[in-house]
Chain A
Amino acid sequence: MPYQIIVCGGLAPDPLQTLEPVFDPAKPSLKNELMLPAVFDPWAAHALYEAGHLAKQHPGTVVRVVSLAPKAKLQQVMMTVAQKMPFELVALDGPGGGFTDAAAVSAALAEAISAMADLDRSRLLLFGGWESATRGAGVVMQRVAERLGITEQFLAVDELSVDADGSLVIKERIEGGRHQISRCAAPPAMLAWATGNLPEPPNHPQTGMANMRVIMPALQKAKPVALEPAIEYLRTALPAAVRQTRVVKDVPAADIAREIAEWIRQ
């Protein structure tokens, strides 16, 4: 049986860029935020790759990405993301980044999903990242699910498989480096993904171009969304403990881990 998978995913600034907060109580941001190249939020990206994988196993499954982000940036990011696998896009043109309010973002996402006329909720799998790389509030997906009335919610998911009877077997991360395995009889369900198990699919321009036929019109008719500022920011700053990015070669993973552990201990 095919699923209807919706992946909620925003953008994050390219992590190799210089990220410097600029404080403005009304509108805090990163320096030159709109000029910096962005990437699809890595946590949501894992969710997207898992969705693609599931869609391949269940022919007829449609994957839709719902994204709230500045439209022009989203378009640039789609030039890479759209090459990974087939999907449709529902774009909301609004602010992205780490300073938006999780409640307002989830309301906008839920509204866009509710407005999908052809959505069969009995086959709906709502995917997203368990947190974002911009803010890491870790609450957006639960809020979207609640607003949509989806009560089966799984957080920090690393694996999803479907049993012969159609039930979903879900592996969630819990404390102490362990996993909890749950069985969910049927959709609708919300899965907020941790890293999953899949590598990033290679770029495939042909897939991208096929996707763009539906993605470009979606970007053109992206609804502008103004998020009500519900949070008051008192201060923004980089974490006090800053580690200089270092590109190394020929260093085994164990040595890298040892070095990081020593740095944390200091």
Chain B
Amino acid sequence: MASSTSASPREHLQTLPGDDIRQVMWRFADRYDLQMLVQSTRAVARGPVARLVAEGARHTHDWTAEKHALLEEFDAAGITAAYLEPEEGGFLEGPKNLALALIAFELAWVDAGAATGSLATHLGLAPIHERGTPEQRLHYMSLAAPAPGKEPKRAAFALTEPIPYVGVETGMLGGKVRIAEWPEGGEPVLEVSKRGRFITNMAFANFVTAAVDSDDPRIKGSCMVILEETDPGIFDRGTPTRKLVHQLSATNDPVFQLRVPASRIVGGYTVKDGVIIPNYDHGAIIEAVFRRTRVTVGLMTSAKLLSAIEPLIRYHRDRFRGSEAVSPGSPRYELGLQQKEDVTHRVIDIWAAGEASASLGFAAARLFDQLDPVEREKDRVLAAQGVHGGLAAVKALRKRQHEALEFIEMQAHSAALRGEERFERLAHDPVIQYIVLDAQANVLCPATKLWNTGHGSVMMREAVSLMGGYGITEDCPGFLGYKWMDSQLEATYEGPEAVQRRQLSLTMTNEVFLAQFRSWIHEMRQIASIEPGTGACTLASAMHLWQWTLNHLLHAADSHGQKLYQSNRQGVTFPMADALCWLLAARSLILDVEHLRRHGAEVIQQGFQGAVQFFTDLCHVQAARAAGEAARICTELVFGYLRHPSWDDDPQCATCSFNEPELRQIESVVPGASGFTGDYLRDDGAHETKAGPCVRAPGLTDFSRLRSKLDGCLAGALLAKDRAAESVQKVMIPAALDYPQ
């Protein structure tokens, strides 16, 4: 490869990154419980799951006995119980977001449908876990715990309804709840009617958490209710969805018409003036649920991208081996298709995207692990002040926002330069910490779901392309064709991309988030000053540009005087959300690689330098790509809503600073310089033949300056890509894939 000559002598990646490197990068090197969960999940994924796929179990959308047997494998391997607390029959102490993320990652490495099947059980339980009463939690979570000789009860989550009801718009509930009986002094009995669409696990679920709206003046608003298969009435599992993807999970359109006691309202209720008031409406519950489970979905696509690397390298290298015309030892024999620069460069693009999305997803999962106990503590503190959720809690938090901003500001200063006592107090105040972490989580979760699955599916297609015709057959090693198709579902369920963009367009303008974002720019510059090869400086410049653009859009209007940044202007808000995701993913990767650089040497005994160098180059590649995407989006938004100047406004071209003969003269002295001179008048006094005078927007010079600085920051990014591509040629891969095809 010609370009490799430009790379300096250096160490290369010796082998594909192993568990030791992953444990450090994704910060579970000291969590043996999680390391074991990874191993036991991997054994299920690369054993029974892979065999099922290889045997063609994906060819039917029916729920077969073979598919059902996977559930028992999940139970035996600790996957089902991983979501439960020890007192409920689980075995992991503390928050479990990272644990579930790792499970999803390992299963999706082979088949994302299997990952969905396992996660849907957790999703069905999630409303009870997040907002259930203590009794509901203990009862249903314990039912869901597998034990020797006992098949656990399995859950499903029913929100989506047949058209024209719930989809992206989760408020449009067709499911209803009314009071069937209310015995004097006794518990009311509810009549619940709900039709579901696309409900995962429905082929076998024993109970369902369903979102319904009141159809009775004696019940206020909406709620979620728990429906059991043995409740009196209709519990019809419905027909299987004729889906094209994720065939190792069960999806049905069920129908429920059941009578249940009011104690099944998730989170309980109070009675006021003869009206049942659920403690949580369905919106509050699904928000608490999805903000956690969406992260795991995002990680499924990341796993698939990273799982594609080994089969791709093997296919490319081996492509011409065995031909009589290609003798062993020749470059064509040794490198095969890897002789072609485009092949290795595209593998690097896939790899970098996979790494960045995994880094973003695991960062989000860890953040929720950090947030969970803080959130509980915040609730306790507020409750002690007489604030019990709802609007009152929102108000109480808003009141303290300025202190959270003060804390973020203080974090940027050294201990000597800030009031340490005040800082410590804020650092240990659960309300302040909640405001800070929550602002981050409200961005990282939708960013993971949106970018990992959306851009991930684009890159999965790239992986399929690089396998040639094989890619789109069932025989493709690593099941890449299936993985590509599946990623479209990951981008859709639990809220399609529009939902994530909508959420981001609100949460990314939160001042508490933006204050942290500003400190992250500084953090990237600091990293860049020590490790310039990471592309952290490029990224910082792009983050700066995005921040400038957001601020501009928040205050600017289009040429018709219409405000640019507003909720119904998705053409403005959504692309800005997309741009942010690129930046966050690249940042997460840089942070993980920096962590590896600092902490990996103690545990990684061989090839450490080569691995770190390779990851550094991937960071640079991804940072440059992210910067390019963000700059493209920002430029389009900043300029796209301006009216282009017209010759009609200025037929004499007052802005033309040159005439044609002058321009020719300039060009004869400095060839190419005429490109920088702006508009000019032709010999005959007329203006140039083009749409109108060039755009001059004096208020945007700062933007142009930042943009042109960013362009310069891209220096070195493609040299990094050349080096990384050389590693792809040299890295040693296993003799065979560790799961069947």
Contact = CB atoms under 8 A, between A and B. Distances in A.
Given A35-B607, A203-B77, A206-B91, A83 B736 contact: no
A249 B50 CA distance: 11
A174 interface: no
A249 B740 CA distance: 8
B667 interface: no
B36 A32 contact: no
3 nearest A-B residue pairs (beta carbon):
A203-B40, A34-B606, A205-B78
Contacts of B91: 205-206, 209
A205 B37 contact: yes
B332 to A, nearest CB: 19
B19 interface: yes
Measured as residues with beta carbon below 8 angstroms from the partner, the interface class of chain B is 35 or more
A164 B40 CA distance: 38
A11 B425 CA distance: 51
B734 interface: yes
A194 interface: no
Given A16-B736, A33-B606, A35-B606, A203 B35 contact: no
B15 interface: yes
A83 B33 contact: no
B370 interface: no
Interface in A188-220: 202-206, 208-209, 212, 216
Contact of A35 (B15, B35, B82, B735): B15
A170 B78 CA distance: 36
A83 B36 contact: yes
Interface string A9-43: 00000101111100000000001111111000000
B732 A31 contact: yes
Contact of B32 (A31, A209, A249): A209
A36 B32 CA distance: 20
A82 B20 CA distance: 17
Nearest to B15: A35
A79 B740 contact: no
Contacts of A206: 78, 91
A216 B738 CA distance: 28
B36 A18 contact: no
Given A14-B734, A76-B20, A209-B32, A203 B39 contact: yes
Given A249-B54, A249-B740, 15 more contacts: A32-B14, A32-B15, A35-B15, A36-B15, A72-B603, A72-B604, A83-B40, A203-B36, A203-B39, A205-B77, A209-B32, A209-B33, A212-B32, A249-B55, A250-B55
A246 B54 CA distance: 14
11 contacts: A31-B732, A34-B606, A76-B19, A79-B38, A202-B77, A203-B36, A206-B78, A206-B91, A209-B32, A216-B32, A250-B55
B301 to A, nearest CB: 24
Interface in A63-114: 70, 72-73, 76, 79-80, 82-83
B503 interface: no
Interface in A203-243: 203-206, 208-209, 212, 216
A35 B55 contact: no
Given A34-B605, A37-B19, A79 B77 contact: no
Contacts of A70: 605
B461 to A, nearest CB: 25
Interface of A: 14, 16-20, 31-37, 70, 72-73, 76, 79-80, 82-83, 202-206, 208-209, 212, 216, 245-247, 249-250
A79 B36 contact: yes
Contact of B36 (A31, A202, A208, A250): A208
A216 B603 CA distance: 15
A209 B37 CA distance: 10
Contacts of B232: none
Contacts of A34: 605-607
Contacts of B732: 18, 20, 31-32
Nearest to A216: B32
B737 interface: yes
Interface in B46-87: 54-55, 76-78, 82
Nearest to B739: A247
Interface string B714-741: 0000000000000000001111111011
B46 to A, nearest CB: 10
Given A17-B735, A206-B78, A247 B38 contact: no
B43 interface: yes
A250 B51 CA distance: 10
B740 A32 contact: no
Contacts of A18: 732-735
B735 A245 contact: yes
B40 A205 contact: yes
B185 interface: no
Contacts of A16: 734-738
Contacts of B14: 32, 35
B274 interface: no
A202 B33 contact: no
A32 B78 contact: no
B102 to A, nearest CB: 12
B699 interface: no
B18 interface: yes
Contact of B40 (A14, A17, A204): A204
A37 B16 CA distance: 10
Among B54, B605, B607, find the residue whose CB has the most chain A CB atoms closer than 10 A: B605
Nearest to B79: A205
Nearest to A210: B91
Contacts of A203: 36, 39-40, 43, 76-78
Contacts of B37: 205
Contacts of A216: 32
A246 B603 CA distance: 33
Nearest to A245: B736
B741 A35 contact: no
A35 B38 CA distance: 19
A133 B109 CA distance: 28
A172 B368 CA distance: 55
A222 B741 CA distance: 41
A79 B733 contact: no
A202 B43 CA distance: 9
